[in-house]
Chain A
Amino acid sequence: MSDLTNVNFDTMTVAEFEEYLPDLFATGGGKVSEDPRFTKFLAANPDCAALVSDLETIAEHARSLFEPTHEPSDSVWSNIADKLKNGIVGDEDGINGTEHLATE
């Protein structure tokens, strides 16, 4: 990823901004538009400001998807209950050897 150590955010080009943007979002708390270091650049480059605004809008709305929107059919629990009842929760399910998957 980009090395932003010596970047002058006031004088960077649009292409440089585009290159840095993934890191800026990743390290800036996701709010590039509110970071005072970019005020001047974004004011001078409205297209970049529009892009930042849109990407922030998308990230904000993505959080609303965290709440579940879909429900499995009733057959899923029926299958689970059948397997538990019959003691089939081992190799037949292809889930042995996956102890590392359940870590805290």
Chain B
Amino acid sequence: MGTQGFSTMQPKPNPGLFKRNPPIAGEADAIERAKNGDPDAFSKLYALHKRRVYTLCLRMLGNVSEAEDMTQEAFLHLFRKLGSFRGESAFSTWLHRLTVNLVLMHLRKKGLQLVSLEETINPSEEDAPKRDFGSRDPQLAGSVDRVTLERAVASLPPGYRMVFVLHDVEGFEHNEIATMLECSTGNSKSQLHKARLKLRELLRQPDRLPPVEGLKEVAL
């Protein structure tokens, strides 16, 4: 194999937020009715999307109380802004982006004012993944289940967790994350890679993962 250039690489396929957010039965009708002030329709939108919005808030914040507060804020903001939704993106995508931005604004208000997240999302050296590139531990394939992964994600340092949730779970692109977090695309890629490395470490010792407390599991 000879020299391979970056330019010859296949472009990353769009994760397809529309595919991941297919229209929900009754959603379009509820949106139109809610736009016209129908309270029952807005209640239906809440019922349809509360779990995803809350789960997103919880993963980003790692705190039940704050996640519930931000879920409330997101739906109140939705109520005010629903009229501006034109259907150019999936409603879920639009609502999730709105929610992410509200959570980030909340975090900045808490203590990140005037400071770029690029400077603050980097965890301490202690939290950073260890450089155990050469280890020959058993591979993870087949040993990762959803509950264990959820616990491991909850154990990530906040900066890592943020980028991992936005990219690998929510499906946002690095350029979108960079815009939202006010960091460079390279920083987003780097943080995601470190998050995955840290998860690898955590998943190798699942017995050491703390339980995720205070969560009301949904029966799927």
Contact = CB atoms under 8 A, between A and B. Distances in A.
Interface stretch (B25-33, B71-79, B115-123): B71-79
A47 B200 CA distance: 14
A47 B2 CA distance: 23
A73 B68 contact: yes
B86 A104 contact: yes
B20 A66 contact: yes
B216 A71 contact: yes
Interface string A71-85: 111011101110110
A18 B73 CA distance: 41
Given A62-B164, A65-B169, A54 B139 contact: yes
B215 A70 contact: yes
Interface of B is mostly: helix
B146 A72 contact: no
A70 B6 contact: no
Interface string A18-36: 1001110111111000000
Interface residues of chain A: helix, strand, loop or mixed (majority): helix
Interface in B177-213: 185-186, 189-190, 192-193, 196-197, 199-200, 203
For the side of the interface on A, what is the size category?
35 or more
Contacts of B215: 69-70
Contact of B133 (A14, A83, A104): A14
B125 interface: no
Interface string B4-35: 11110111110000001000000000000000
Given A26-B12, A76-B71, A102-B81, A68 B193 contact: no
Which of B133, B185, B218: most chain A CB closer than 10 A?
Answer: B133
Contacts of B112: none
A53 B55 contact: no
A84 B63 CA distance: 25
Contacts of B216: 70-73
Contacts of B128: none
Contact of A1 (B85, B97, B189, B218): B189
B193 A5 contact: no
Interface in A1-17: 1, 3-10, 14
A9 B78 CA distance: 48
Contacts of A29: 10, 12-13
Nearest to B194: A22
Contacts of A23: 6, 189
B51 A98 contact: no
A93 B50 contact: no
A8 B4 contact: yes
B105 A72 contact: no
Given A26-B192, A73-B68, 7 more contacts: A55-B193, A58-B149, A68-B218, A70-B218, A77-B46, A101-B97, A104-B89
14 contacts: A1-B185, A4-B5, A25-B189, A26-B174, A29-B13, A48-B133, A55-B200, A58-B144, A58-B200, A63-B169, A89-B76, A98-B105, A100-B101, A104-B89
